[in-house]
A = this chain, B = another copy of it.
Amino acid sequence: MSTMHSARLLITCADRPGIVQAVSSFLYHHGANITALDQYATEATGGTYFMRVEFGLDRLHDAIDVIRRAFGETVATQYDMEWTMTLVRDVKKVGILVSKFDHALLELLWRWSRGLLPCEITQVVSNHEDLRESVERFGVPFTVIPVTKTNKVEAEQQIQQQMAGNDLLVLARYMQILSEDFVSQWHHRIINIHHSFLPAFVGADPYRQAYDKGVKLIGATAHYVTADLDQGPIIEQAVERVSHRYSVTDLRELGQDVERNVLARAVRWHLEDRVIVHGNKTIVFD
């Protein structure tokens, strides 16, 4: 239902009576037609309140900036809200970081090229040369920034420069750990795909860990990156059944299919402003 002529309002605030009324009245009186509305409160009363509204712009009485300012000065102030109001036509800019595995990257590029990911993929940065051709044939610039034991700081600075101006970074199996400093500059704006059902199998080679443990399901987890490795807020997870017959290679092959789908869903939800982070958890209005 979301069209180029619509906007999205995301709200977090302390739960109090009257929020829906206040928000919907504000929008109604400014000529905004609500086309989708989701809300959630952590407690029956006294908890935290979250809201996602999508509204049409066609009959808006004022420019969106006027409305945004008015909302900030009235309803948002009255209820002490954290909030964002974004236009669907302000397409988000996305940079992708990748190493050598291409499955997650290609899934994103392929969906994007078909119009299934509402964003502009501005560039792909890798610490290896391998995937240049795969990326460039989609018309997306590909930059190699090698990372060694001794150049980590410089490499991150280069990535920072290269990625400046993007709204979102996606780690599509980028095998380098980003520094706390880097991560803090992209607060809840980096999505990573981890190749296990977190919190099981944090750390290296989760398919090997899963094999050794003899689990009967393998999974993948898309999450926002925080300073704590593999501990950021989970956006999406999925699993597939396996059996004793699966070698580590088989687990990896099947797992990569799960990774592709999980990452694509998480990125899409983020781009559609469906995800609100609350503490170390996410509200996903899917």
* Interface residues of A, Cβ cutoff 8 Å to B: 1, 3, 17-18, 20-21, 24-25, 27-28, 33-41, 44-45, 56, 59, 103, 106, 110, 114, 116, 137, 197-201, 213-217, 219, 233-239, 243-245, 247, 253, 257, 261, 280-284, 286
Contact = CB atoms under 8 A, between A and B. Distances in A.
A184 B235 CA distance: 42
A259 to B, nearest CB: 14
Contacts of A36: 39
Contacts of A27: 21
A173 B110 CA distance: 18
A39 B20 CA distance: 13
Contacts of A37: 20, 37-39
Contacts of A201: 199
B199 A213 contact: yes
Given A37-B39, A116-B253, 4 more contacts: A20-B24, A21-B21, A35-B41, A244-B283
17 contacts: A17-B33, A17-B59, A20-B24, A20-B37, A21-B24, A21-B34, A36-B39, A40-B244, A40-B245, A198-B200, A198-B215, A213-B234, A215-B237, A217-B237, A243-B286, A244-B281, A257-B261
A41 B116 CA distance: 22
B28 A214 contact: no
A236 B214 CA distance: 10
Nearest to A33: B17
Nearest to A103: B114
Given A3-B44, A257-B261, A215 B244 contact: no
Contacts of A114: 103
B116 A106 contact: no
